[in-house]
Amino acid sequence: MPTVSIPALGLQLQAEADENLLKVLRRHRVPIGWSCKRGECGSCKCVLERGEVDLQGYQPGALPASQREQGIILACSSRIVGDVQLGLVDTDDYIEHPIRSLACRVLWLRELAPEVFALRLRIVADLGEGGDGAGADAAAGGPFLFSAGQYAHLRARDARGEWIGRDFSMAGTPVEAEYDGELEFHIRRTPSGSFSGLLGEAIVAGTELRLEGPMGRAYFRPRHEGPLYAVAAGTGLGPMLSVVQTALDNGKTDPVVLYAGFRSVSEVYGVDRMEELARRHAQFRAHVVVEFDAPGGLRGGRVGDALFADVKDFRDAKVYLAGSPAMVEAVSAELLTRGLASRDVHADAFYAPAPEAIHAARAGAAKG
Ligand SMILES: Cc1cc2nc3c(=O)[nH]c(=O)nc-3n(C[C@H](O)[C@H](O)[C@H](O)COP(=O)(O)OP(=O)(O)OC[C@H]3O[C@@H](n4cnc5c(N)ncnc54)[C@H](O)[C@@H]3O)c2cc1C
Ligand code: FES
């Protein structure tokens, strides 16, 4: 049986022959990031210090050749072929909240911009480890804890009564969840979308949803000292608002700067919350950037270009990113090119599920 050793954490893990490396690390709750699980996002990077893996089927953008030459691999795209020794690329401020399985009720659904909704949930029951509701009790597992920037897997019943699930990032703060038992998400509705298309139809005030989480490693690092930049595309603004608000509420005194990117002016939302934060915190700045039809007074162009036009020196900074994979991948790659270490780039791209999962949901819906 091959072993995976991680000297930095004093771990020696047993793996199955041919097992996927990310699966082994997650099974043993090793602090490693992951998101797409198919070699596209680069979240699951680790350093292969000794031994070999079979590394296949990843996008070159997720693991540039220069990093591969330094021994960096993607755990999700690596198959174990023998004993290996690993180093982790990001263990600073490691926080692990227990993953919970919860029943939630929709408190309200509000349109923030055309086809963009705020979905506010109240936690009503803890479904326990197996998520089967045995002994369900809202207080059973204690308050729901997460770190700003994390996401959860939400499930709703579709028109056929089948559960359909997708990942969504928390737009409210961890404090609201812990003390009020309420969670907020900002969701773009695609009318043909298997989950988001249910908003306003099968998902309305009073609907019961299931939630599993929290997940994700692109969360706010409270011990970091230095400027914080948060870059959002579309509904990526939800988790980025959570990050900047949490940083400011935590008393961060370094500059905290939010870049909120939208494709068109009709999609802009969240300005009131940004203005309120700017009124309360002198160290906070927000830039709304509209790509295609920016009227006078609003900044035009791509959100990443705005960041790089304003900031020439990222020394001591951390950058958080959320939203479309195109924006997150392009800006992350440019930050690394400009010398920011990958441990200071915390990115969650909103990848759609694998095409097979979307087709399966559609095929089921067509039959039903
Ligand atoms: C970590 C993470 C966090 C996320 N956080 C958020 C968030 O906070 N807010 C948010 O809005 N989203 C978020 N997402 C994205 C979200 O999980 C969903 O992918 C998104 O809402 C679309 O899901 P859906 O079921 O509505 O659409 P799906 O049915 O999954 O379809 C996805 C898209 O592909 C198109 N498509 C694919 N295949 C076909 C086909 N065969 N025929 C026609 N059209 C097709 C659909 O029209 C649609 O636009 C996040 C994703 C991840 C991974
Ligand atoms: S989780 Fe491995 S590259 Fe995305």
- pLDDT, one tens digit per residue, over 260-305 is 999 999 999 999 999 999 999 999 999 999 999 878 778 999 999 9
Supply the mean pLDDT for the chain. 89
Is residue 173 located within the same domain as residue 135? yes
Is residue 110 located within the same domain as residue 199? yes
Q: Measure 61 CA to ligand 2 centroid, in angstroms.
A: 11
What CATH number does residue 252 fall under?
3.40.50.80
Strands 3-6, 11-14: pairing kind = antiparallel
Nearest C-alpha neighbor of 38 from the set 325, 360, 320, 361: 325
Locate 5 and state its tokens.
Answer: 């050793």
| Ligand 2 pocket, mutate which of 20, 40, 348, 350 (most atoms under 8 A from CB) | 40
In this predicted structure, which of 110-114, 166-170, 185-189, 190-194 has the lowest mean pLDDT?
Answer: 190-194
Cβ of 232 less than 6 Å from ligand 2: no
The answer to whether residues 199 and 187 touch, using CB atoms and an 8 Å cutoff, is yes
H or E element, residue 114:
none
Hey, what amino acid is at 267? E
Locate 358 and state its tokens.
Answer: 């979307």
What CATH number does residue 33 fall under?
3.10.20.30
Contacts of 229 (CB under 8 A, 6+ apart): 257, 258, 259, 307, 311, 314, 317, 318, 319, 320
Is residue 232 located within the same domain as residue 343? yes
Is residue 240 located within the same domain as residue 330? yes
> Is 14 a member of any domain?
yes
> Is 343 a member of any domain?
yes
> Is 132 a member of any domain?
yes
Angle of the 237-249 helix axis to the 271-280 helix axis, nearest 10 = 10
Cβ of 328 less than 6 Å from ligand 2: no
Cβ of 195 less than 6 Å from ligand 1: yes
> Is 283 a member of any domain?
yes
Is residue 285 located within the same domain as residue 246? yes
Cβ of 32 less than 6 Å from ligand 2: no
> Is 286 a member of any domain?
yes
Is residue 45 located within the same domain as residue 119? no
The answer to whether residues 19 and 76 touch, using CB atoms and an 8 Å cutoff, is no
Domain that holds residue 144: 100-217+354-367
Share of the chain above pLDDT 90, in %: 66
| Ligand 2 pocket, mutate which of 34, 53, 167 (most atoms under 8 A from CB) | 34
> Is 93 a member of any domain?
no
Domain count across the chain: 3
> Is 179 a member of any domain?
yes
Whose C-alpha lies nearest to ligand 1, atom 10? Answer: 187
Ligand 2 atom with the smallest distance to the CA of 41 is 4
Is residue 171 located within the same domain as residue 258? no
- Strands of the sheet containing 299-300, edge to edge, are 299-300, 284-290, 256-262, 228-233, 318-323, 345-349
Cβ of 185 less than 6 Å from ligand 1: yes
The residue with greater pLDDT, 46 or 88, is: 46
- pLDDT, one tens digit per residue, over 234-266 is 999 999 999 999 999 999 999 999 999 999 999
The per-residue pLDDT for 91 is 60
Is residue 237 located within the same domain as residue 339? yes
Q: How confident is the model at residue 42 (pLDDT cuts 50, 70, 90)?
A: confident
Is residue 27 located within the same domain as residue 69? yes
Is residue 253 located within the same domain as residue 339? yes
Is residue 167 located within the same domain as residue 251? no
The answer to whether residues 308 and 334 touch, using CB atoms and an 8 Å cutoff, is yes
Is residue 105 located within the same domain as residue 180? yes
The per-residue pLDDT for 135 is 42
Which residue's entry shows tokens 């003390």? 179
Query: Is the pTM of the predicted complex or chain greater than 0.85?
Result: no
**Is residue 309 over pLDDT 70?**
yes
